[in-house]
């Protein structure tokens, strides 16, 4: 069975959307990536850090999804990473209200020995130096390294981010962040500039407007499923990344053609994530629902014009 190594935050989030507000709930990039990737046939592990204020039941949940959590350090007396966000009415844009790094500030990641040969490495959102350190610890060259990041790290650790971006095959990033990173408004030009920074494949996530996959002059588009109700987009980008990297790890095929399926799987899983607050929908999600919705995705994009 193939191995997927995941790094990213395991966090407390406080979220406000037009539909309601939460107190501190479990979140974090690695949490969403792990839950999403758990729908594939693979071995996965998370490298992250929490404080001892983080409830054991949330770690148990990850274990119950067959995720190896031996790489999640628990810092005695430490406080878990905390993020708070406020969504605007269109739910496609948000303001970060608070980012407290807490135990993440001094985190030295340790990759579990049996994942130093993972075929796929998913560098989820967190400090780029932590992402680099995980790559440094790999004992065999991964078949595919995927990186996700956000504006926060562009603002406060750009040189380190550019260093790690050089080392990855695929970057997943949202549209505004692609513009910020490249200095280009056109997403086509932005994707071309980002490819010059290192990654051969660039995935630009556009929230409810789907996702674009760029590679040289090729481009593929996956829609987001039009949903009657979207409650909370938090974690959709990470869930997408987990679906993409999980599918690629399971299928052992890193061609552009197969990556198209990967972004469909990513979009499919993300469409569930947004239906409830936080991780709630992903926790209750069943494999048969994922398969049913894939059929909807196919129907949404299939047409038979003869050319
Ligand atoms: P997404 O909605 O996919 O962009 O991801 C939201 C998740 O990212 C939340 O659960 C947060 O805990 C986490 N997050 C927010 N800001 C950061 C950051 N600067 N670094 C790492 N993770 C973050």
pLDDT tens digit sequence for 96-144: 999 999 999 999 999 999 999 999 999 999 999 999 999 999 999 999 9
Domain-located, residue 30: yes
Query: What's the pLDDT tens digit per position in 4-29?
Result: 999 999 999 999 999 889 999 999 99
Predicted confidence band of residue 64 (pLDDT cuts 50, 70, 90): very high
In a domain, 306, yes or no: no
Gap from CA of 28 to ligand 1 centroid (Å): 5
Position of tokens 């399971």?
Answer: 250
* CA of 125 relative to ligand 1 center, distance in Å: 7
Please indicate, yes or no, if residue 137 is contained in any of the structural domains: yes
Indicate whether 163 belongs to any domain: yes
| Structural domain count of the chain | 1
Residue-wise DSSP of 109-158: ----GGGTT-SEEEE-SS-HHHHHHHHHH-SS--SEEEEE--HHHHHH-H
Q: Name the residue among 165, 174, 253 with its Cα closest to residue 212.
A: 174
- pLDDT value at residue 93: 84
Supply the CATH number for residue 270's domain.
3.40.1190.20
Instruction: Using pLDDT thresholds of 50, 70 and 90, give the confidence band for residue 92.
Output: confident
Is there a domain that residue 307 lies in? no
Record the pTM: 0.97
Tell me the CA–centroid distance for residue 126 and ligand 1, in Å: 8
Task: Report how far residue 25's alpha carbon sits from residue 55's, in angstroms, rounded to the nearest whole number.
Answer: 10
Q: Residue 264: which domain range?
A: 3-301
- 296 φ/ψ angles, rounded to the nearest 5 degrees: -65, -40
Per-residue pLDDT band for 301 (boundaries 50, 70, 90) equals: confident
Judge if the beta carbon of residue 125 lies within 6 A of ligand 1: yes
The 10 Å Cβ neighbour count of residue 269 is 29
Q: Is the distance from the beta carbon of residue 256 to the nearest atom of ligand 1 less than 6 Å?
A: no
**Residue 260 forms part of a structural domain:** yes
Please indicate, yes or no, if residue 40 is contained in any of the structural domains.
yes
Structural domain includes residue 117 = yes
Would you state the pLDDT for residue 303?
Answer: 87
148-206: pLDDT as tens digits:
999 999 999 999 999 999 999 999 999 999 999 999 999 999 999 999 999 999 999 99
DSSP 226: P
What average pLDDT does the structure give for the chain? 96
């Amino acid at each position: 069975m193939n191995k997927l190594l995941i790094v990213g935050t395991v966090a407390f989030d406080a979220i406000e959307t037009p539909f309601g507000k939460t107190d501190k709930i479990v979140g974090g990039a690695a949490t969403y990536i792990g839950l999403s990737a758990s729908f594939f046939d693979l071995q996965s592990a998370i490298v992250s850090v929490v404080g001892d204020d983080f409830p054991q039941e949330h770690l148990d949940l990850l274990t119950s999804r067959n995720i190896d959590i031996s790489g999640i350090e628990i810092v005695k007396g430490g406080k878990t990473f905390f993020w708070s966000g406020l969504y605007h009415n269109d739910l496609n844009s948000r303001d970060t209200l608070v980012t407290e790094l807490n135990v993440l500030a001094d985190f030295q990641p340790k990759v579990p020995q049996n994942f130093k040969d993972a075929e796929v490495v998913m560098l989820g959102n967190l400090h780029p130096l932590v992402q680099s350190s995980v790559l440094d610890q790999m004992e065999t060259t991964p078949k595919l390294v995927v990186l996700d990041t956000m504006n926060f790290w562009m603002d406060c650790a750009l040189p380190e981010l550019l260093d790690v971006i050089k080392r990855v095959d695929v970057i997943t990033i949202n549209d505004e962040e692609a513009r910020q990173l490249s200095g280009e408004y056109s997403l086509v030009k932005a994707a071309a500039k980002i490819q010059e920074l290192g990654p051969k494949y660039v995935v630009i996530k556009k929230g409810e407007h789907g996702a674009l996959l760029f590679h040289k002059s090729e481009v593929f588009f996956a829609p987001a499923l039009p949903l009657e109700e979207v409650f909370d987009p938090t974690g959709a980008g990470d869930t997408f990344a987990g679906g993409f990297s999980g599918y690629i790890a399971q299928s052992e095929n890193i061609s552009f053609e197969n990556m198209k399926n990967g972004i469909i799987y990513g979009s499919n899983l993300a469409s569930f994530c947004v239906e409830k607050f936080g991780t709630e929908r992903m926790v209750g999600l069943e494999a048969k629902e994922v398969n049913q919705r894939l059929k909807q995705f196919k129907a949404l994009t299939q047409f038979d014009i003869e050319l």
